[in-house]
Homo-oligomer: A and B are copies of this chain.
Amino acid sequence: MTESARTAEPARTTETVIPVVERILSANDRVAGANRQRLDASRVLTLNVMASPGAGKTSVILHTLRALAGRARMAVVEGDTAPVTIDSEKVAALGVPVVQVNTGGACHLDAEMMSNAFDQLPLDRVDLVIVENVGNLICPAGFKLGTHVNVLIASLPEGDDKPWKYPKMYRGVDVLLVNKTDLAPYVDFDMTNFRRGVEALNPGVVTFPVSCRTGDGLGAWTDWLAAKLPR
């Protein structure tokens, strides 16, 4: 049986296995895999930044671009459900190449959209591409893009129960920024309960409490990111 599996003529057991593999590797996963190969060949580090609407994705990205200016050649992909360029214009104002992806109402970016976006970027002359996903704590978690690091931005006003309510998102991230720490005195946010939720879903996940308003904690984040850059 094991011998026949290695022959060019597949045995019946091999034939029953193949369709299962096909179903697991969805079309999106295949394109994501191709994206990853292409990014690795160009030695580009890529981030998939996800969050609720208004948690601070764009603010974190703008801060990161400013902090790493001169240390890395960077580009940004801005995902929006509507045809607006509010965030792209802020990135372009820093002189950073930016590609706008309008999902046409869809609630997440997917690997095909990213493949098209990467076509527009000079990947061989870039060290870091930051992808800002659509503001949504649910759907983006279900679609691999081929990017390297999944970044989630939580924020204090959202409340400390969000890990329990959006477990798929919290489970799948590589690094967590907890933004708007400057609002701690004015909102009911129990950091102990929040961390309990995070640890239950994603034990030991790298976490940075930050405030884009005061700048607190952002240096630790950008240092961590800089250490991951190619070379």
| A residues whose Cβ falls under 8 Å from a Cβ of B | 52-54, 80-82, 84, 86, 105, 107, 134-139, 142, 155, 157-159, 161-162, 164-168, 180, 182-183, 186-188, 213
Contact = CB atoms under 8 A, between A and B. Distances in A.
Contacts of A165: 53, 80-82, 84, 86, 135
16 contacts: A52-B53, A53-B137, A53-B158, A53-B162, A53-B165, A81-B165, A82-B168, A105-B138, A105-B142, A107-B138, A136-B136, A139-B139, A155-B157, A157-B183, A182-B186, A183-B186
Contacts of A136: 107, 136-139
Given A134-B138, A183-B183, A183-B187, A54 B157 contact: yes
A29 B74 CA distance: 46
B135 A135 contact: no
Contacts of A213: 188
Contacts of A138: 81, 105, 107, 134, 136, 139
Contacts of A164: 82, 84, 86
